[in-house]
A = this chain, B = another copy of it.
Amino acid sequence: MVNYYRDIKEKPVEGAYGTHIRWLITPRTGAKNFAMRYFRIEPNGASPLHSHPYEHEVFVLKGKGELLVGKETALSKESAVRKENISEGYFGLIEENEVHQFKNTGEKDLEFLCIIPIKEENIPEEEKNV
Contacts and interface: CB of A to CB of B under 8 A. Distances in A.
A31 B113 CA distance: 16
A2 B55 contact: no
Interface in A1-25: 1-6, 24-25
Given A1-B93, A3-B91, A25-B91, A57 B86 contact: no
A113 B59 contact: yes
Contact of A93 (B4, B31, B59, B90): B31
Interface residues of A, number: 33
Contacts of A113: 59, 113
A2 B86 contact: yes
B29 A55 contact: no
Interface stretch (A32-40, A41-49, A72-80, A121-129): A32-40
Contact of A30 (B3, B33, B95): B95
14 contacts: A2-B67, A3-B91, A4-B90, A5-B90, A5-B91, A25-B57, A31-B55, A31-B93, A33-B34, A34-B57, A34-B117, A36-B91, A113-B113, A115-B115
